[in-house]
């Protein structure tokens, strides 16, 4: 059973849902009517947080699950929680000003890279029977 990564998966999806709600709120606040995604810099930063989170989910989620399967559920969940913390830092920084998104992006990127690399290691290690 993979209880820890299940919890982190649900938290990651909850965070993504939150960013989606923030985009809806920003549309009303800044008067950006669908389907427009530009025209107000404050709205565009909120939108990019949501879009960038969506762009990273297909990298992050499978990597976390494969890491849990081949190596360690608790360690994968810890790295997954770090990924979410990075996304939160990214969101806070980016919604304030675009140049402030770097630290959060770096945190989540490193967490995702470790999960992906660990997944590759785990599957190769298993295939070679080592």
CATH domain 3-127 topology: 1.20.120
pLDDT of residue 97: 97
Per-residue pLDDT of the chain (130 residues; tens, 9 = 90+): 999 999 999 999 999 999 999 999 999 999 999 999 999 999 999 999 999 999 999 999 999 999 999 999 999 999 999 999 999 999 999 999 999 999 999 999 999 999 999 999 999 999 998 6
Q: Give pLDDT, residue 130.
A: 67
**Residue pair 61/9 in contact by the 8 Å Cβ criterion:** yes
Label residue 64 exposed, middle or buried (CB < 10 Å: 0-12, 13-18, 19+): buried
Q: Distance (Å, rounded) from C-alpha 108 to C-alpha 76?
A: 13
Of 70, 56, 71, 74, the closest CA to residue 113 belongs to: 56
């Amino acid at each position: 059973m993979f209880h820890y990564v299940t919890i982190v998966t649900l938290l990651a999806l909850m965070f993504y849902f939150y960013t989606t709600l923030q985009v809806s709120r920003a549309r009303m606040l800044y008067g950006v009517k669908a389907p427009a995604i530009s025209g107000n810099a404050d709205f565009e930063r909120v939108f990019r947080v949501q879009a960038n989170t969506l762009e990273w989910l297909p990298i992050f989620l499978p990597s976390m699950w494969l890491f849990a399967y081949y190596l360690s559920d608790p360690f994968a969940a810890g790295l997954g929680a770090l990924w979410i913390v990075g996304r939160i830092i990214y969101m806070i920084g980016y919604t304030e000003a675009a140049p402030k998104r770097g630290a959060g992006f770096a945190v989540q990127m490193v967490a995702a890279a470790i999960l992906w690399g660990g997944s590759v290691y785990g599957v190769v290690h298993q295939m070679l029977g080592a």
